[in-house]
Amino acid sequence: MTLITAHSGSDGTQENSLAFVRFFQHKPIEAIEIDVRYDQESKQLVLRHDEENIEEKTPLRAVFELMQETDLLVNCDLKEPGLEMRVKKLADQYQLWERILLSGTVDVYFLSRWPAHILMNIENGLEQSLSWEHWTEQTVLEAAGYLIARGATRLNLPYQCYTERLATLARKHNVALSLWTVNSLQDLSYFEEHNVYNLTTRNAWKYFQVRQEVVQ
């Protein structure tokens, strides 16, 4: 079954805020995604996408406290390197590690250590830093091959880079695909029908309601 992950700020909520987390806290959504950085000033993990300082910093600890009341998976999108062990240690404090997924700047070292917890971003397999708009299909296939050879079992990439050749490669190696950020309800339905493992979207609740209407 395809996981539907609510992108930070999904359904009109404020990005990387407790309001976003609370909105989905008791809804029948499979997972939420949050952006994680380490704040040097407060010496703690916080929710933040960019490096710029902002006055209000939501601690990751506060999110984990709320998650104790739910069964949601939490995709921590790491926005800077070297945060893997910090997130693991904090999750262990709240007995949440089994429900934590890591994406973003995850070191390939952790593929062999925590294979079930990692949605390995395809750009981590590129030799040079390029925005996804400049990737070719061959670029994606080569990066996927590199990461699969190092133990990746779930690959995370922009939905625009999904191709049948990539899907075939993934099936050959029993690797799941995770796509972001799929906001079109039609595209969500298409990828779900093609058994994509995870779809991250800014319309998670809206899509869930549409799915329920179809079932009924």
The mean predicted confidence, pLDDT, of the chain is 95
Give the integer Cα–Cα distance in Å for 202 and 204: 6
Mean pLDDT on 172-200: 98
Segment 32-58, tens digit of pLDDT? 999 999 999 999 999 999 876 566 789
Q: Place 213 in a pLDDT band, splitting at 50, 70 and 90.
A: confident
Indicate whether 162 pLDDT > 80: yes
Segment 94-148, tens digit of pLDDT? 999 999 999 999 999 999 999 999 999 999 999 888 899 999 999 999 999 999 9
Identity of residue 200: T
The pLDDT value recorded for residue 53 is: 59
